[in-house]
Chain A
Amino acid sequence: MHRSSEVKHLASDFNTRACECFGQPPVQPFESHCPVLTDRTVRVQLKVLKVKDGSVFFIRVKPDRTGVVTDGVKHSMNPFCEIAVEEAVKLKEKKLVKEVVAVSCGPQQVQETIRTALAMGADRGIHVEVSGKDYETLGPLQVSKIFAALAKKEQADLIILGKQAIDDDCNQTGQMTAALLDWPQGTFASEVTLEADKLKVVREIDGGLETIKINLPAVVTADLRLNTPRYATLPNIMKAKKKKITNVKPADLGVDVSSRLEVLKVDEPPQRQSGVKVETVHDLVEKLKEAGRI
């Protein structure tokens, strides 16, 4: 009871709060499934999100227009989450963090994604089991609740997520997680430096680069230029098999994953109309004037 009203309050407040404090663009519709939680002194938790592979070209809308076809479409780790994993592993290699925990929410298949994170250098994984209908409607709000609960349980000091998922482009989970935990956030990070017990984050914003200093514990979301993710080497893949992945259910964390959103319809973008070829620049200007464009 208390939790849902608290969340509602936060959600409605979120827009103003976000815009005021962090110069964020307005909240966009739901997305992302799993943030990377990283822990400073004890554990770093990473979120790894399994999305439709970025190189898949032919995505089709389902006949009932409730979404896109996901059966048989290749899924892989969200590119921004890869960058998040890489950053966490780098922090561990610099001996600034003790443990990196990779977390993913979803059905059985996300274990593969967690294993990839383990092969990149994470120490252990947590698989939050969400499947079937719940998985289809899983959105940033539910995921951020799960993450907030896990962060408290695991006593994480730093949460690193990809800034957004490339399938729904929501860009919300990081921000919501920080709000739920009442932690500071450094989003769109292109550089992260640990200084004593503060985090210096260089953020990519519309106007350029903004550098902020935030206290730990904190939430960071990774942007494209933060680093270049490493390949998982074959020996590391073999070592990753020995690393543990624990299974957890959202109910165990006291999180209700039912969605407050209903997708009304999903449409393809309109077909591109064919253009008209003109001979000269003069013709082009004439045509544009005719069409009322200039």
Chain B
Amino acid sequence: MIFNKVLRAGVQAGRRFQSTGPQAGVRAAIAASREAHGGFSFELTDQQKEFQEVARKFAREEIVPAAPSYDRSGEYPFPLIKRAWELGLMNGHIPEDCGGMGLGIFDACLITEELAFGCTGVQTAIEANSLGQMPVIIAGNDAQKKKYLGRMTEEPLMCAYCVTEPGAGSDVAGIKTRAVKKGDEYVVNGQKMWITNGGKANWYFLLARTDPDPKCPASKAFTGFIVEADTPGVQPGRKELNMGQRSSDTRGITFEDVKIPKENVLIGEGAGFKIAMGAFDKTRPPVAAGATGLAQRALEEATKYALERKTFGKFIAEHQAVSFLLAEMAMKVELARMAYQRAAWEVDQGRRNTYYASIAKAFAGDIANQCAADAVQIFGGNGFNSEYPVEKLMRDAKIYQIYEGTAQIQRLIISREHLGKFKQ
């Protein structure tokens, strides 16, 4: 009873602070509940629970039935995306003064996990919007925010994050796309690859090298731009046929003498690298949440099957070999969830969360693959077959160890952060 009152007071306090941003509201609510719980709480606010309910309902009723056919055809799931947009499940990070809801990363993660449960292909298409918008949210000036974020809330538009190139993925500092200043414009030439939403985006966040001097440090050599997709010279390639998340649109994009007005530079020349990397701290927790959603789906499908299928006279769930597999899957899912929630909470508190975000992403990506493979194992021969839902999960899971920072890069980051802390 008291807890409810305190939480409500916290949420009401959060409401009062809403206009100053979600972080203040979340902090107030957490401070209020902290009093009731001695400093630590796993409790969601009523609003978070309601958001989660809507996302869960939408995913289970609309995404799950439609996902297999989108996977087979590779068609872009625009009807689902439009529906998610109408329900307010997309673009949660956009600040309120641009027409968005100004949600914190934690709330966005809750929604992402539920959507990913339905289909990670659909969820990735939606998440790519957040990734593309994040540089503008953290580094855009008022005019840029109003223009490029505002339009996302007026109609269901997509955007994309253009950094990776055919020759440079993990090594962002090795990108070769050049932007040369000519009068009031920059002229961009280069090639990008593996751009999610590449063929559907209305605008891109582009990272290009503005300082040709090879000795120039990465922190000064790159610039972030906002590029309208219909600018002459922007040529999206063909839709790539990938192993999994096949409904998501991934393409190479060629930039040939693309002219970008100087108003579309984020912060200023040379500030690009930091912006691009800063966006990751906010987008890695949702990616980890997506991987957790996939793992949760694998666990639920496997559990349902194990309680129906019989062998040697009993349900396979009653054989320890299978129940132990399920137990380990459950362990991994719970821990991955706690990891991304911690990472999201840290950044919402206003603190640097690089350490936790990398841990969450690395762990969630790995366990998503393990759980998907274990689910196929539990389904046995049926699991290998396309009539059953788990083989899709296994194909979809692999990319979580690759995009948004490979598993190996995450380990680099974690070790660097960990040793850095130790040396202090």
Partner among B11, B86, B87, B89 whose Cβ is within 8 Å of the Cβ of A241: B11
The answer for the CA separation of A276 and B102 in the assembled complex, in Å, is 62
Q: Is the CB of A233 within 8 A of B101?
A: no
Query: Is the CB of A237 closer than 8 A to any CB of chain B?
Result: yes
Which of chain B's residues 67-120 have a Cβ closer than 8 Å to chain A?
86-89, 92, 101, 111
Comparing B49-57, B238-246, B386-394, the segment that makes contact with chain A is B49-57
The answer for the CA separation of A232 and B1 in the assembled complex, in Å, is 27
The answer for the CA separation of A177 and B33 in the assembled complex, in Å, is 41
Q: A231-B57, A231-B58 are in contact. Are A115 and B50 (CB under 8 A)?
A: yes
Q: Which residues of A contact B (CB under 8 A)?
A: 108, 112, 115-116, 119, 231-238, 241-242
Shortest C-beta distance, B94 to chain A (Å), equals: 12
Q: Which residues of B contact A (CB under 8 A)?
A: 1, 4, 11, 15, 46-47, 49-51, 54, 57-58, 86-89, 92, 101, 111
Cross-chain pairs A/B with CB under 8 angstroms, 28 sampled? A108-B1, A112-B46, A115-B46, A231-B54, A231-B57, A232-B50, A232-B54, A233-B86, A233-B87, A233-B88, A234-B51, A234-B54, A234-B88, A234-B89, A234-B92, A234-B111, A235-B88, A235-B101, A236-B88, A237-B47, A237-B50, A237-B51, A237-B54, A238-B101, A241-B11, A241-B15, A241-B47, A242-B15
The answer for the CA separation of A281 and B47 in the assembled complex, in Å, is 59
The answer for the CA separation of A235 and B153 in the assembled complex, in Å, is 12
Q: Is the CB of B54 within 8 A of A238?
A: no
Shortest C-beta distance, B424 to chain A (Å), equals: 41
Residues of A with C-beta under 8 A to B86: 233
Residues of A with C-beta under 8 A to B47: 237-238, 241
Residues of A with C-beta under 8 A to B4: 108
Residues of A with C-beta under 8 A to B46: 112, 115
Shortest C-beta distance, B154 to chain A (Å), equals: 13
Q: Is the CB of A119 within 8 A of B50?
A: yes
Residue of A nearest to B1 (CB): A108
The answer for the CA separation of A241 and B15 in the assembled complex, in Å, is 8
Residue of A nearest to B58 (CB): A231
Residues of A with C-beta under 8 A to B88: 233-236
Shortest C-beta distance, B44 to chain A (Å), equals: 12
The answer for the CA separation of A116 and B46 in the assembled complex, in Å, is 11
Residues of B with C-beta under 8 A to A232: 50, 54
Shortest C-beta distance, A280 to chain B (Å), equals: 28
The answer for the CA separation of A119 and B92 in the assembled complex, in Å, is 17
Residue of B nearest to A55 (CB): B60
Residues of B with C-beta under 8 A to A238: 47, 101
The answer for the CA separation of A234 and B114 in the assembled complex, in Å, is 14
Residues of A with C-beta under 8 A to B1: 108
- Add 10 more A-B contacts to A234-B92, A241-B11 (CB < 8 A): A115-B46, A119-B50, A233-B87, A233-B88, A234-B51, A234-B54, A237-B50, A237-B51, A241-B47, A242-B15
Residues of B with C-beta under 8 A to A119: 50
The answer for the CA separation of A232 and B88 in the assembled complex, in Å, is 9
Shortest C-beta distance, A5 to chain B (Å), equals: 38
Residues of B with C-beta under 8 A to A235: 88, 101
Shortest C-beta distance, A283 to chain B (Å), equals: 27
**10 closest Cβ pairs, A-B complex:** A234-B88, A233-B88, A233-B87, A235-B88, A237-B50, A231-B87, A234-B51, A231-B54, A241-B15, A232-B54
The answer for the CA separation of A233 and B88 in the assembled complex, in Å, is 6
The answer for the CA separation of A116 and B57 in the assembled complex, in Å, is 13
The answer for the CA separation of A177 and B311 in the assembled complex, in Å, is 55
The answer for the CA separation of A233 and B89 in the assembled complex, in Å, is 8
Q: Is the CB of A234 within 8 A of B87?
A: yes
The answer for the CA separation of A231 and B50 in the assembled complex, in Å, is 11
Shortest C-beta distance, B38 to chain A (Å), equals: 23
Residue of B nearest to A108 (CB): B4
Name the residue in B58, B88, B89 with the highest tally of chain A Cβ atoms < 10 Å from its Cβ. B88
The answer for the CA separation of A108 and B4 in the assembled complex, in Å, is 9
Residue of A nearest to B86 (CB): A233
Shortest C-beta distance, A292 to chain B (Å), equals: 34
Residues of B with C-beta under 8 A to A116: 50
Name the residue in B4, B46, B54, B101 with the highest tally of chain A Cβ atoms < 10 Å from its Cβ. B54
Name the residue in A116, A234, A237, A241 with the highest tally of chain B Cβ atoms < 10 Å from its Cβ. A234
Residue of A nearest to B103 (CB): A234
Residue of B nearest to A111 (CB): B46
